[in-house]
A = this chain, B = another copy of it.
Amino acid sequence: MNPTIQSVLVLGAGAVGGFYGARLAQIGLQVSFVCRSNFEAIATKGLQIRSYQGDFSITPEQVVQDTKDYQGKPDLLVIATKVVPGNDLTDQIAPLVHPGLTILLIQNGIEVEAPIAEAFPAVPLLSAIAFVGVTRTAPGQIHHQLRGDLEIGSFGPGQFDSALKRVLTAFESTGLKIRGSQDIVKSRWVKLLWNAAFNPLSVLGQADTQRILELPGSEAQIRAIMGEVMALAEAAGKPLDPQLAEKNIAATYKMPPYKTSMLVDFEAHRPLETEAILGKPIKIAHRLGIAVPRLELLEALLHLLADQKRG
């Protein structure tokens, strides 16, 4: 294994993958991208980041349309694709597997790691949660509005400590706030608390975070939805800080009006991460016998609306 991360391949050059890949390229790593809808723009013009921390552009090492076309053996594969049905990752990962590979997932939702861990048990698998407000404004163009911190942990705590250390070191060099997580599955529940409430309401109410909080009735629903996620996390063995819902709401009040990633996807007619954010938690709830009426209703409404938008 390499003592430090040199070459990085980012799968999914949307807002999140593009942003973190660009930050790694900015500090001199050899960063390449696998992209589909963005391919033409990024291959010819690279990535432009408009950021509240300072604008910058990068030219990727390689830009490919398929992992099979990547030349070389990446030290790190960053997976930042949307978690949507039909996006099977194992086929795309297989050509990249070599003894020096580490995989880092930066994705939303719950239980996103298991299929990869099962398919490639020998490959160190890290999992990260991004606390960041980034939007793709055009192919290859990303607007970074908020935060940027990452919480990174080993999937299977303690299992891949040296890989985790190397990846933490690489990301810390970007100047972003990076935290190691001893329990990334629990961290996912922490993030889900916000996502499960604000993402669906933003789409169904066609509203940014400020509008949602302005209407007293919807703030009460945010609290009630978070209550369901809290109860579910506890039943799943990951009890959260009882104050976390209130802290989340207070923090959201302090944010500038923000369009959730799900609302951005919806307005761009892209598939929604409904399964990662609601579907998987609901399946866990059914397994554990926890009532989640609001999560179920939101899931059904999002499916209905997405079906109508396609139809």
What is the interface of chain A, defined by CB distance below 8 A to chain B?
A: 201, 204-207, 211-212, 215, 217-218, 220-221, 224-225, 293-294, 296-301, 303-305, 307-309, 311
Contact = CB atoms under 8 A, between A and B. Distances in A.
Contact of A204 (B212, B224, B305): B305
Nearest to A282: B217
A309 B304 CA distance: 20
Contact of A304 (B205, B299, B300, B307): B205
Contacts of A296: 217, 220-221, 224
Nearest to A311: B211
Tallying the copies of this chain within the complex gives 2
Given A204-B204, A204-B305, A308-B206, A300 B211 contact: no
B224 A304 contact: no
Nearest to A200: B301
Nearest to A220: B300
B221 A300 contact: yes
Contacts of A311: 211
20 contacts: A201-B300, A201-B304, A204-B204, A204-B301, A204-B304, A204-B305, A205-B305, A206-B304, A206-B309, A207-B307, A211-B304, A211-B308, A215-B300, A215-B303, A218-B300, A220-B296, A224-B293, A293-B294, A297-B297, A297-B298
Contacts of A215: 300, 303-304, 307
Nearest to A306: B205
B300 A301 contact: no
Given A304-B204, A305-B206, A297 B211 contact: no
Contacts of A299: 217
Contacts of A207: 304-305, 307-308
